[in-house]
Amino acid sequence: MKAIRIHGRGGPERLVYEDVPQPHPGQGEVVVHVYATGVIANELKWSATYETKTGSKRSLPIPGHDLSGVVEEVGSGVTTISKGAAVYALTAFDRDGAEAEYSIALPSELAPKPRTLDYVQAAAVPLTALTAWQALFDHASLAAGQTILIHGAAGGVGVFAVQLARWAGAQVIATASAHNRDFLRELGANQIIDYTTTPFEEVVHDADVVLDTIGGDTLEHSYEVVKPGGVLVSVASPPSAEKAKAQSVRYAWFVVEPNREQLIQIGDLIDTGQIRPIIETVLPLSQARQAYEQGARGHTRGKIVLRVVD
């Protein structure tokens, strides 16, 4: 089969499109015929991309952990999913990923593909939607009537965070560049702050929740806009316990985890028109290097997707 493999640590130049052996499922595993896969732009910088859970080196790893496709083979002991099922998933980061014609997945990672999406659209959902869901509901306990500030609202995680927060009944303040203003209002943001001209900390006060997808100075200035007892959640870098304590706010930093049940809930919201994926670019699998180069430049609106099957 054709796949992308990483030939040593580095940037997109280390990605090679080549022939590799097709995987077969072990006990409790499933092989998915991958139709499309979402690009995780930062993946080439993660230690988990190059190491197993025990810390040993992985040889020529296959990147990409968003997938949509059709179940091709079912291993022994799997009773909850059948060959031919249309699925989408976020797979674990310490295994070979989905930038390949076939990929291993676990039943606990796979959910039915939303019926209203094609495979390319479905591949844009799992990692970013699960990250937003887990940030808002698992870590921040966002509730109706609360105010949330979302940094990087037009990015991959941000577009789902805006839509999910609106669905939950929150007031949504978004930071983004000016050209994303109308786009974010359409997604449900109540207020948009142009970060290129206006320091958000001069505008926002007493937010119940701040979701940071940027890190750096953006995270540093976020403590002062959260109300006492509120929560600052970052998916970019760990917040400072000392600064959070000084402002009497809770804080969380986490790495998204695969979750079948949450993907089912997200799929229901998609199929009922509550939320939708946003795709910046679609490229063939053979152009993965160009896709990662684009992702590394940043400022993408939504997700970059690699099409594996036409």
**pLDDT digits over 205-217, tens only?**
999 999 999 999 9
Residue for token pair 């590799």: 20
Of the residues 253, 269, 292, the one at which a domain ends? 253
pLDDT at 47 over 80: no
- Are 116 and 152 found together in one domain? no
> Token pair of 40, please?
């995780």
- Are 143 and 113 found together in one domain? no
- Are 230 and 197 found together in one domain? yes
271 located within any domain:
no
Count structural domains, the chain: 2
200 located within any domain:
yes
Provide the β-strand partners of residue 209.
148, 231
| Cα distances (Å, whole numbers) of residue 205 to 59, 129, 185, 208, 291 | 49, 27, 20, 9, 38
- Are 141 and 160 found together in one domain? yes
Average pLDDT of the chain? 95
263 located within any domain:
no
- Are 145 and 71 found together in one domain? no
37 located within any domain:
yes
- Are 115 and 60 found together in one domain? yes
Mean pLDDT across 41-63: 83
260 located within any domain:
no
- Are 81 and 141 found together in one domain? no
* Alpha-carbon torsion, ordered 193, 140, 46, 16, to 10 deg: -70
Q: How far is CA 261 from the centre of its chain?
A: 16
- Are 246 and 282 found together in one domain? no
Residue 14: the pLDDT is 94
Residue 276: the pLDDT is 98
- Are 177 and 188 found together in one domain? yes
CA 221/CA 203 separation, integer angstroms: 12
268 located within any domain:
no
Residue partners of 180: CB distance under 8 A and separation at least 6: 153, 154, 192, 301
Residue 46: the pLDDT is 81
Residue 18: the pLDDT is 98
What is residue 35's DSSP assignment?
E
Closest CA to 122 of 38, 184, 43: 38
- Residue 10 sits in a domain whose CATH number is 3.90.180.10
240 located within any domain:
yes
262 located within any domain:
no
In this prediction, residue 54 has a pLDDT band, given cuts at 50, 70 and 90, of: confident
Of the residues 212, 238, 253, the one at which a domain ends? 253
Q: How many residues does the chain have?
A: 310
- Residue 134 sits in a domain whose CATH number is 3.40.50.720
- Are 248 and 133 found together in one domain? yes
Q: Can you count the helices (H) and strands (E) in the chain? A: 8, 15
Domain carrying residue 142 = 128-253
- Are 193 and 290 found together in one domain? no
Residue for token pair 């999913």: 81
- Are 185 and 286 found together in one domain? no
Residue 48: the pLDDT is 78
pLDDT in tens, 252-272: 999 999 999 999 999 999 999
* Percentage of the chain lying above the pLDDT 70 cut: 100
